[in-house]
């Protein structure tokens, strides 16, 4: 299958990948193209801006979470019908997950190779002149299996600065496909876990994306970028199908699975909902900040990640919903922010009390891939099974006596809470890597 595609990468974090990738998605969409947005790695926040820019779900591509074999099928599934796909990288081009086996595994370069996609390198030129060419030359020659097709210079200070950098890079044989000047309003606001999610910023996020689209349209060679994308060869794989690997002929009524959303719960992979639908469930969103009851007929509840710590007073004030969740007897699956919401308290504010735990903000960032072993049965796991996930939080949970943990992994003690009708933990999971989770959860709801 042929999908024109580009990977937007950089030598290091903070070079401007998100600015360029989001702006390029918005600029191409404004031209009338159907753009498929993708993000390398487990990050949830950038895809929210991508979705605003392109009008399609932002989808993640992560060989650790889903396996190498699924990267191309998941890409083709997400990009079906698109005119072009833009894939934003993670960290520096060759930076992978050492815990995932080293050697650049799960890096942007790894995903670019799996998709046979050309790479555009975004270079921060703010503190250099001709030296940017040596940097680019090093990245081009470091790994010949990764095809760097052009450079976009970011944070250029003046016309003279641009001429110096452009001439030096063109000596390497690579085209300069864009030059972005220093703009104070070119970024997006951040806080303790990175960018503020687009869903929390509403109209302001839309204006930010429009600004980025205009900036890239003015500063980059869109035709040159499209020509590079159209040079990508066909991908010899079939699109991922959420129904493959699930039991055939699911019988019975479609149970309603209430999935938390709204500003406090913005982290989730689109494929998880698609798998639940394929497993015979009816996915219905709800907002714990505003909805005073679960959707009518709810048989199961999924509460993903987000920033409940930023909304603890408002979540606490929605007492009718907290009481209903506390009394709910059906299956509950909760990740990270969902775990905090199910605790007794969050920074002293009352939460649902489904799990015997107190949660609080800390100054310590916990971040990384995990290979977890289930230590108890739950609606989605069986004791002894292994799952690949990731952690990303600055909170801590202190459990009460007698709690039954959900997981163990190397370097960690017992983690999370499990039981016949619940699993609540810090571990984020991409269900495409373990589709049985969806069929089990839907079956437990049914």
What is the bridge-based pairing of β-strands 417-419 and 422-425?
antiparallel
* Tens-digit pLDDT profile for residues 320-371: 999 999 999 999 999 999 999 999 999 999 999 999 999 999 988 888 999 9
- Supply the mean pLDDT for the chain: 93
Distances from the Cα of 242 to the Cα of 172, 245, 345, 398, angstroms: 44, 8, 36, 37
d(CA 104, CA 241): 28
pLDDT for position 196: 64
Q: How much is the pTM?
A: 0.94
For residue 445, indicate whether it is catalytic: no
Are the C-beta atoms of 116 and 232 separated by less than 8 Å? yes
Are the C-beta atoms of 87 and 61 separated by less than 8 Å? yes
* Tens-digit pLDDT profile for residues 125-166: 999 999 999 999 999 999 999 999 999 999 999 999 999 999
List phi, psi (to 5°) of 132. -60, -30
Ordered domains of the chain (ranges, CATH): 5-230 (3.40.50.300), 256-445 (3.40.50.880)
The distance of Cα 321 from the centroid of its chain, to the nearest Å, equals: 28
Helix, strand, or coil here: 276? helix
d(CA 222, CA 31): 10
pLDDT for position 191: 38
User: Exposure string (b/e) for 366-376, b if CB count within 10 Å is 16 or more?
Assistant: eeebbebbbbb
Catalytic residue (one of 165, 220, 336, 352): 336
Looking only at Cα atoms, what is the longest distance across the chain?
Answer: 70
d(CA 246, CA 435): 7
Quote the DSSP letter at residue 415. Answer: B
């Amino acid at each position: 299958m042929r999908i024109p595609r580009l990977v937007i990468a950089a030598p290091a974090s903070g070079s401007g990948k998100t600015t360029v990738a989001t702006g390029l998605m918005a600029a191409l969409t404004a031209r009338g193209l159907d753009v498929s947005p993708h993000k390398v790695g487990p990050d949830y926040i950038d895809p929210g801006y991508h979705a605003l820019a392109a009008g399609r779900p932002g989808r993640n591509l992560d060989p650790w979470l889903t396996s190498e074999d699924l990267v191309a099928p998941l890409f083709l599934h997400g990009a079906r019908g698109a005119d072009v796909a833009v894939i934003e990288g993670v960290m520096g081009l060759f930076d992978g997950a050492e815990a995932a086996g080293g050697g650049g595994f799960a890096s942007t370069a790894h995903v670019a190779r799996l998709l046979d996609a050309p790479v555009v390198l975004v270079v921060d030129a703010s503190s250099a002149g001709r030296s940017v060419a040596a940097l680019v030359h090093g990245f081009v020659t470091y790994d010949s299996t990764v095809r760097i097709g052009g450079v976009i210079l970011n944070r250029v200070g003046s016309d003279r600065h641009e001429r110096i950098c452009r001439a030096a890079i063109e000596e390497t044989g690579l085209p300069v496909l864009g030059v972005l000047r220093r703009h104070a309003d070119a970024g997006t606001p951040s806080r303790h876990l990175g960018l503020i999610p687009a869903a929390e910023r509403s109209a302001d996020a839309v204006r930010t994306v429009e600004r980025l689209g205009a900036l890239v349209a003015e500063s980059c060679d869109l035709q040159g970028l499209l020509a590079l994308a159209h040079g990508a060869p066909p991908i010899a794989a079939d699109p991922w199908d959420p129904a493959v690997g699930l039991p055939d002929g699911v019988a019975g009524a479609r149970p309603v699975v209430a999935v938390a959303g709204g500003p406090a719960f913005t982290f989730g992979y689109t494929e998880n909902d698609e798998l639940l639908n394929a497993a015979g469930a009816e996915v219905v969103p709800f907002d714990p900040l505003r909805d005073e009851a679960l959707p009518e007929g709810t048989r199961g509840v999924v509460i993903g990640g987000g920033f409940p710590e930023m909304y603890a007073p408002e979540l606490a004030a929605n007492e009718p919903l907290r009481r209903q969740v506390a009394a709910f007897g059906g299956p509950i699956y909760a990740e990270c922010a969902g775990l905090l919401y199910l605790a007794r308290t969050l920074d002293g504010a009352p939460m649902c009390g489904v799990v015997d735990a107190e949660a609080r903000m800390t100054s310590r960032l916990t971040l990384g891939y995990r290979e977890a072993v289930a230590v108890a049965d739950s609606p989605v796991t069986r004791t002894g099974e292994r799952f690949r996930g990731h952690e990303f939080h600055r909170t801590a949970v202190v459990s009460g006596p007698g709690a039954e943990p959900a997981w163990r992994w190397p370097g960690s003690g017992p983690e999370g809470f499990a039981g016949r009708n619940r699993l609540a933990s810090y571990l984020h999971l991409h269900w495409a890597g373990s589709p049985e989770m969806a069929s089990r959860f839907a079956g437990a709801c049914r």
